[in-house]
Amino acid sequence: MSGKEYYKNLVNNNKNDISNILSEEIDHKYDDEDNLDTDWTNSNNNGINPNYPDLHTSSLNILESTVSQLKNIGYGIQSEARLHLDMLGDMNNSMGSTGRRIKITQRVLNRLTEMASTTTLCLIAMVLFILLILQWVILF
């Protein structure tokens, strides 16, 4: 199982655990309407029902473990991003040196092309000159 699949399963399992606990709390809380807590905004208990301390503790533990896992995933993503940035920097340096080498090779090839055409023209001129001299010698 890859790291992605592991974290995905772990998060899904935690979501299922939290939803099961919350649905049990809701079912238990609304079994009869006399137990309805209408003062849920009371600042004395900060929205926590004192009748269910274990439920809140387990919910907080699950939430804490999920946050811890998300933090670890975030660190993993950060390290991967840094690794990719380093690789892109190395590739940029390599591309720069490759570009310089290509330009140098182009200049050398251009010089060779110019020299080859000049050399060819000089050879043709020399052959024509020799032919003219031979023709002049043969005619006289």
Residue 116 counted as domain residue: no
Which pTM does this prediction carry? 0.38
Instruction: Give the chain's domain count.
Output: 1
Residue 110 counted as domain residue: no
The string of DSSP codes covering 56-92 is: HHHHHHHHHHHHHHHHHHHHHHHHHHHHHHHHHHHHH
Residue 13 counted as domain residue: yes
Q: Is residue 37 pLDDT above 60, yes or no?
A: no
Residue ranges making up the domain that contains 76: 3-105
Q: Is residue 120 pLDDT above 60, yes or no?
A: yes
Q: Using one digit for the tens of pLDDT, what is the confidence trace for 52-69?
A: 667 678 888 889 999 999
Residue 134 counted as domain residue: no
Residue 61 counted as domain residue: yes
Residue 49 counted as domain residue: yes
Residue 83 counted as domain residue: yes
**Residues shown for the chain:** 140
* pLDDT band at residue 40 under the 50/70/90 scheme: very low
C-alpha angle 52-55-56 in degrees, rounded to nearest 5: 90
Residue 62 counted as domain residue: yes
